[in-house]
Amino acid sequence: MNRQRRIGPPILTVEDICLSFGGVKALDRVSFEVREHEILAIIGPNGAGKSSMLNVINGVYHPQEGSVTFMGKKRHRMRPHEAAAQGIARTFQNIALFKGMSVLDNIMTGRNLKMKTSFLEQALYWGRARAEEIEHRRKVEEIIDFLEIEHIRKTPVGRLPYGLQKRVELARALAAEPQLLLLDEPMAGMNVEEKQDMCRFVLDVNDEFGTTIVLIEHDMGVVMDISDRVVVLDYGRKIAEGTPEEVRAHPAVIEAYLGVAH
Ligand SMILES: Nc1ncnc2c1ncn2[C@@H]1O[C@H](COP(=O)(O)OP(=O)(O)OP(=O)(O)O)[C@@H](O)[C@H]1O
* Complex prediction ipTM: 0.96
- Separation of CA 48 and ligand 1 centre (Å): 7
Closest C-alpha to ligand 1, atom 4? 21
Cα–ligand 1 centroid distance for 262 (angstroms): 19
List the beta bridge partners of residue 89: 181
Q: Which residues, in sequence order, are CB contacts of 14 under 8 Å at separation 6+?
A: 30, 31, 32, 33, 53, 56, 57, 66, 67, 68, 69
Q: What is the pLDDT of residues 182-227, one digit of tens each?
A: 999 999 888 999 999 999 999 999 999 999 999 999 888 899 899 9
The rounded Å distance from CA 50 to ligand 1 centre is: 8
Which one-letter DSSP state was computed for residue 102?
B
Atom of ligand 1 at shortest range from CA of 51: 22
Q: Is the pLDDT of residue 1 over 70?
A: no
Mean pLDDT in residue range 29-39: 97
Whole-number pLDDT of residue 189:
87
Strand ranges of the sheet holding 65-70, from the earlier edge strand across to the other edge: 24-35, 10-21, 65-70, 73-75
Residue ranges and CATH numbers for the domains of the chain are 1-87+178-262 (3.40.50.300), 97-176 (no CATH)
Burial 95-130 (b: 16+ CB within 10 A, else e): bebeeeebbbebbbebbeeeeebeeeeeeeeeeebe
Ligand 1, residues 17, 18, 21, 232: which to mutate, most atoms within 8 A of Cβ? 21
Going by the DSSP 8-state scheme, the letter that residue 5 receives in this structure is G
Q: Which residues line the pocket of ligand 1, CB cutoff 6 A?
A: 21, 24, 26, 44, 46-52
